[in-house]
Amino acid sequence: MPFIKIDVLREDLNREKKQQLIRKINEAVTEVLNKDPHLTHIVINEIEDDNWGYAGEQVSALKEQGFSTAKK
């Protein structure tokens, strides 16, 4: 029984995007690991910018300096 935990920054991850993420990950686990999709558990943890560090800085501080997590 796969258990998949996803940690993401709390951003523009609305209900529809979460559902899409869950569905696509479940499809990948079913295809790659040959697991029953009804036995796969996926948890999404949304983490505040102040609670995430990158390159020795809080993401909230980096965003104030122009850092973006958007795809380029």
Q: DSSP assignment, residue 72?
A: -
Which of 1, 2, 16, 30 does the annotation list as catalytic? 2
CA dist., res. 45 & res. 9, Å (int): 8
Instruction: Clarify whether 37 is annotated catalytic.
Output: no
* Contact yes or no for 53/59 (Cβ under 8 A): yes
Which residues are known to be catalytic? Answer: 2
